[in-house]
Amino acid sequence: MEHRLGRAPVLSPLEESSEEVSRDSGIVSQSASTVSMLSEGLSNGNVSQSPSFGLNVSQSPSFAGNVSESQSFNGNDLRSPSLDGAAAATAATAPAQSPADEQEDEMLRQTALSYSSYIRADAGQEISCLEKSLEEMLVRVDEFVGMLDMIRNDTSQMVNVSLPQIHRKAEDMRQIYRKIDKLEAFVKMVAANVDVMEEQVIEAEGEARTLPGAFKKIFRTMNVSGFLNKPSSPKRAAQPQQHQEIPPVFRTDDFFPAQPEPSTMCGIWALFGSNACLSVQCTCAMKIAHRGPDAFRFENVNGFTNCCFSFHRLAIVDQLYGMQPLRIKRFPYLWLCYNGEIYNHLTLKKHFEFDYQTEVDGEILLHLYDRFGIERMTQLLDGVFAFVLLDTANRKVFLGRDTYGVRPLFRMLTEDGFLAVCSEAKGLTDITHSMSDPVKITPFPPGHFEVFDLKVNGKVKSVQLDRFHRCTEEPKHAAYDNIENIGRGFALETVKSNIRILFENAVRKRLMAHRRIGCLLSGGVDSSLVAATLVKLAKEEQLQYPVQTFAIGAEGSPDVLAARKVAAHIGSEHHEVGFTPEEAICTLKDVIFHLECYDITTVRASVGKLVAICPVMQF
């Protein structure tokens, strides 16, 4: 007992130095229950170390002490200055220790050190997991904020654009309902007129004492001659024949005036880098729906969700596979939208041995671009065209228009790289863009091509605008034309022969259409020559239908009379379409709307054509 009490003061400095060491190392882990167990073991003289310490310690019975607290030590420091000072102080006040006691103290120190290393907490992994979770949460928050911005933009688009359009459409529908009501009243009026006419017809037949024609035919087939030819009887005095007045009949035009339809041809429309909702933007494409009555398509570009094409089709060539944007398996990265006719596509196909997948004349553009590039491609084309070509592999956009600008093309380009293209300017006027100032809509220059770089976000940047042909120069495609017997020099007979050959070739190459061909005939020199040559070449090409000619003019006009004589001479199937000055005046507004210009000569020449479209399309 005395020995145990004598050892008690030695442990107190050890506890204090252990606390100081743990505070210096920054890793303090206390365990009251464990220290209590260790203290009890030391007081009983038997300490058995856990296998995790890697040691076997057996306390000598002579060793006694009170251990109240166990400190975790830093594995790199076996002793600390405070521990040494405490030990020195203890040595000064306590009797000298034996070697066995020192060995026991060292074991106790090593045990405390190992225990502190065992219970030391390492929060590094938990901290890294927490940081990763916070990063993922921040990413989700950013995505949520982006989605909110998108919803806000779509909502503002709906409020500012869609709702006013819906309101206008509702007003249009109300007008349609009013027209339906008028139509119902009109049908009732027609029914009443028919009933009156039937009563008057029955009354007239009764007064004329004749059987209806249908009954007469039945009796004749039954060979009842005695019934129809009655035996002679005393003649009655002849009664004066009553004159039947024709009842007044309404005119449909009084209730439904004829509305001339606009001319029809293919219409193209495309956007690149739109910031607005495409479902709203595509409504602008419907403003040119009159250009293509056969089919319509709206298609997004793969990989560029803010880029799209729209196409209104008038099927001239390959009515089965000619829908656009045109894409073929050999060039899946090319998107083509074009309006026009390429007259030499078969010649180029044969010369360069291209492998066609469709019968569309525009497929030649894809093959020529792939082999020669955009400039050489446009130079080799003989025809009238306007196109938009997209190369997603090289991220390029190309625009082009024929030498004389026969096919229209308009574009709108903003400062931030948003590009919109359309066959008519009216398809671009309501396009939504991010610019605060109005953006100019300009016609694309004839005989030119333009190259744009396509960015990842769908925006574009113009990098090249060049002319590929001038009308004063010989076209590059002339080297591949099949025109023979062209003379050289300026002798009169040579010039006349060349004019005839070139003129006939110009008419012949326009016979490539898969639909029926007709000709407008005014009776003048130009149209008469074209019509006469067309009839001649149609016989040579063995077309399966007669060539039709159409003359447009007022009643008794000189043009109509002259066209009638020319048609009789060349043997065409001739039709005449007349109109009154009042109809021409009513058509002016529509003519200007579709021409998109006020040029007097152009408007004057287009009035009759617009009036004649509906009758011509019936044939």
Structure tokens at 72: 């975790």
Q: Which of 404, 395, 319, 398 is nearest to 358 (CA)?
A: 319
Catalytic choice (129, 266, 308, 519)? 266
Look up 266 and say whether it is catalytic.
yes
Angle between helices 345-352 and 363-372 (to 10 degrees): 40
CB proximity list for 292: less than 8 A, separation 6 or greater: 264, 265, 266, 267, 311, 312, 313, 314
Q: Tally Cβ neighbours within 10 Å of residue 349.
A: 17
**d(C-alpha 440, C-alpha 452), whole Å:** 18
Q: Which of 508, 468, 517 is nearest to 484 (CA)?
A: 508
CB proximity list for 398: less than 8 A, separation 6 or greater: 369, 374, 387, 388, 389, 390, 391, 449, 450, 451, 452
Strand 419-422, strand 267-272: pairing: antiparallel
Structure tokens at 271: 């956007």
| DSSP conformational letter for 473 | S
**d(C-alpha 86, C-alpha 92), whole Å:** 10
**d(C-alpha 201, C-alpha 38), whole Å:** 131
CB proximity list for 458: less than 8 A, separation 6 or greater: 272, 273, 274, 304, 305, 306, 307
Edge to edge, the sheet with strand 383-391 lists 326-328, 331-342, 383-391, 396-401, 448-454, 460-467
Instruction: Indicate which residues carry an active-site annotation.
Output: 266
